[in-house]
Amino acid sequence: MEYAVKSGNPEKQRTACLVLGVYQSRRLTPAAEQLDAVCGGYLGVLLRRGDLEGKPGQSLLLFDVPEAQCERVLLIGCGREREIDDRRFRKIAAHAAAALNDTGATEASIYLTELSVKGRDLDWKIRQLVEAAEDARYRFDQLKSKKDVPRQPLRKIILGVPGRRELAGGERAVREGVAIAAGVALAKDLGNLPPNVCTPTYLAERAQALAREFPALRVEVLEEADLERLGTGALLSVTRGSAQPAKLIRLDYRQGPATARPQILIGKGVTFDTGGISLKPGEGMDEMKFDMCGAASVLGTLRACSELNLPLNVIGLIPAAENMPGGRASRPGDIVTSLSGQTVEILNTDAEGRLILCDAMTYAERDQPAAVIDIATLTGACIIALGRHPHGLFGNHPPLVHALVAAGHAAYDRAWELPLWEDYQEGLDSNFADMANVAGNRDGGAIMAACFLSRFAKKFHWAHLDIAGTAWKTGKAKGATGRPVPLLTQYLLDRAAEAKDKS
C-alpha cells in the first residue's frame, strides 16, 4: 500500500473515495461540513433523514454526491466529539479501514486526521491510521489450499493535513507507521506459522533472510556444539527431548556511534512448548506454537529499526528451542549449570522459558549493553494477574521501566509494571542447587519468573516484558498480534531522539 500526506480542502479532492467523520448525533465534522457546503447541503439532508446517527461502528457509503469532485464519500460514525480518546480513535480507524477495503475504490483520501483526540497530536493520528489500514489488510492464508481472496483493490491512501506546515511531520509519521506495521506483520506471520514449520532452524533462516533484505543487519547463529562449548547448560537442558536442534540467533544492527553501548533485545523462541516431562494438559495446547512470539517481536522490531535507519546500536538475541518430552528430556529434579555458573534445580520442566532466557542474558554481558530487555510469553500467571490488555513489565532500573511504560503509552501498546521486591526471592530457594526454576506454590507466578531472571541481570540495566496475555488472541479470532513491536520500536525511536538531543 502506498501512503501520502496532502494539505488542501476535502471538497477539492479528485479522489476515488473521500473518508469523512460524522459525530453523534447526526453532526458533520468540519471537513464533512466543507463538502456539504459545496454539494448544497446533501450530506446534512441525509443525516436529518436519519440515515446515519454517527455512532461508533456505523458507516455509510455514498455515490455521485452532487457537485463533489470525488467518486465516493464514505461517512464514518465517530461517536460523541468530546468522548474521542485513544481507544475510540483506534476503533474509528480500524472501522474506517475495514469499510474502505470493502469498497471498490483503488485510492482514498482520509480526513479522520481532523478529529481531536485528548493528549494526541496529528502525527499520532496519522501513525494510528496507517497501522489500522495495514492491520485491516493482514491475512494469513498461505497454508489454505483455496484462498478466499477478498478483492482488495485499494492501492493508495492519502491522509489529509490542515496545511503545508504539517506535511513534513506527517510524512515522518507515515514512514514510522509503515515501518512499525511491517514489523508487526512479520511478527504475526512467524507467530501464526505452525510449529512443524516454524522450528528453531526456521527462525534462524528467517533471521538470515531479514539480513539479506536489510544490509545493516548481520546475523550469527550459534549451533548446539557452539553452545556446549560456551556452557549454556540451562538453555541446552530445554532442547534435550526434541529432535529439532536448538539455536542461539544473534542479530547485530550497528548504525550508531562506534562507542555507543547497544540496546539488547532478547526474545523467547520456544517454537513449541509441550511442557516437557511436566506435560501440559491437552486442551488448547496448539496455542503453545505462539511460545516464540517474543523472538518474533525481536525480528519485527529489528526490521522496523532497519527500515527507519535509526542511528543506534541494537542487538537481537533469540534463544530458540522446542520443549518436548522424550527419553533424553530433562526430568523434574535435574540440576543444570547455567552459563553464569549458577546452578538450577529444574523442579518443573514447563518453566523452560526462564532457562533459555537466563543463558541468553549472561551471554549479553559481553556486549556491555546500555540496557537489556527480554520479551517472553513467560507465564500463564501473568494473564491471571493483568488480563490480556497490557504486557507485564518488570525491571531493575526505574528509568528503564519508565521509558518502556512511556513508549507503550505513546505507541498505544501498553505495559504495566509489577513488583520485583526482594521479599519474593526466597521463594526460589532450593535444598540442592543455587536456586529452583519454580517456587513451591502458584502465588505470584509472573513475579516469581521475573525474580528468577533478575538473578542473571546483576551486571546491566534490565527489563522484562511478559507478553503471555498480549502476543496472541485466543478464541474465534485466534492469531498473533505482533505486539510488542510498536512499543519496542517506539522505545528505540525515543532512544534515537535522546541521542540526537545530546549531540
Point out the residues that are catalytic: 280, 354
Interface residues for Mn ion in 51-110 (CB under 5 A)? Answer: none
- Comparing CB distances to Mn ion, the nearer of 46 and 351 is 351
- Comparing CB distances to ligand BES, the nearer of 54 and 294 is 294
Please report whether residue 294 would count as binding Zn ion according to CB under 5 A: no
Out of 195, 275, 353, 482, the only residue in the binding site for Zn ion (CB under 5 A) is 353
Q: Which has the closest alpha carbon to 334: 320, 321, 351?
A: 351
- Comparing CB distances to ligand BES, the nearer of 377 and 454 is 377
Q: How far is the CB of 271 from Zn ion (least distance, A)?
A: 10
- Comparing CB distances to ligand BES, the nearer of 378 and 401 is 378
Compute the Cα dihedral for 23, 27, 33, 39 and give only its sign: positive
Q: How far is the CB of 337 from ligand BES (least distance, A)?
A: 21
- Comparing CB distances to Zn ion, the nearer of 177 and 353 is 353
Q: H or E stretch including 73?
A: strand 72-79
Distance CA 177, CA 4 (A): 12
Q: At what angle do helices 485-502 and 398-411 cross, to 10 degrees?
A: 120
CB count in 10 Å sphere of residue 357: 29
Residue 131 contacts which entry, Mn ion, Zn ion, ligand BES, none (Cβ below 5-8 A, type-dependent):
none
Please report whether residue 273 would count as binding Mn ion according to CB under 5 A: yes
Please report whether residue 291 would count as binding Zn ion according to CB under 5 A: yes
Q: Which residue has the cell 496472541?
A: 472
User: Exposed/middle/buried for 61, CB within 10 Å: 0-12, 13-18, 19+?
Assistant: middle
DSSP 290-338: GGGHHHHHHHHHHHHHHHTT-SSEEEEEEEEEEE--STTS--TT-EEE-
Q: How far is the CB of 445 from ligand BES (least distance, A)?
A: 5
| Residues binding Mn ion: number (CB under 5 A) | 3
Please report whether residue 466 would count as binding Zn ion according to CB under 5 A: no
Per-residue contact track with Mn ion, 340 to 359, x per CB under 5 A? ----------x-x-------
Distance CA 390, CA 318 (A): 23
271 three-class SS: strand
Residue 381 contacts which entry, Zn ion, Mn ion, ligand BES, none (Cβ below 5-8 A, type-dependent):
ligand BES
Residue 445 contacts which entry, ligand BES, Mn ion, Zn ion, none (Cβ below 5-8 A, type-dependent):
ligand BES
Distance CA 281, CA 275 (A): 9
Instruction: Look up residue 351 and give its three cell numbers.
Output: 518453566
Indicate the DSSP class of residue 397: -
Q: How far is the CB of 339 from Zn ion (least distance, A)?
A: 20
DSSP 231-266: T-HHHHHHHTT-SSPPEEEEEEEE-S-TTSPPEEEE
Q: How far is the CB of 469 from Mn ion (least distance, A)?
A: 15
Q: What residues make contact with ligand BES under the rule CB under 6 A?
A: 273, 291, 348, 350-353, 377-381, 438, 445, 468
Q: How far is the CB of 425 from Zn ion (least distance, A)?
A: 22
Whether the CB-CB separation of 482 and 300 falls below 8 Å is answered with: yes
Whether the CB-CB separation of 482 and 294 falls below 8 Å is answered with: no
Q: How far is the CB of 350 from Mn ion (least distance, A)?
A: 4
- Comparing CB distances to Zn ion, the nearer of 404 and 471 is 471
Q: How far is the CB of 378 from Mn ion (least distance, A)?
A: 9
Please report whether residue 36 would count as binding Mn ion according to CB under 5 A: no
- Comparing CB distances to ligand BES, the nearer of 410 and 450 is 450
Distance CA 209, CA 200 (A): 14
- Comparing CB distances to ligand BES, the nearer of 448 and 488 is 448
Out of 71, 273, 374, 466, the only residue in the binding site for Zn ion (CB under 5 A) is 273
String of b and e for 290-319 (b: at least 16 CB within 10 Å)? bbbbbbbbbbbbbbbbbbbebebbbbbbbb
* SS3 assignment for 107-157: EEEECHHHCCCCCCCHHHHHHHHHHHHHHHHCCCCCCCCCCCCCCCCCCEE
Distance CA 485, CA 491 (A): 10
- Comparing CB distances to Mn ion, the nearer of 94 and 376 is 376
Whether the CB-CB separation of 249 and 488 falls below 8 Å is answered with: no
Contact positions vs Zn ion (CB under 5 A): 270, 273, 291, 353
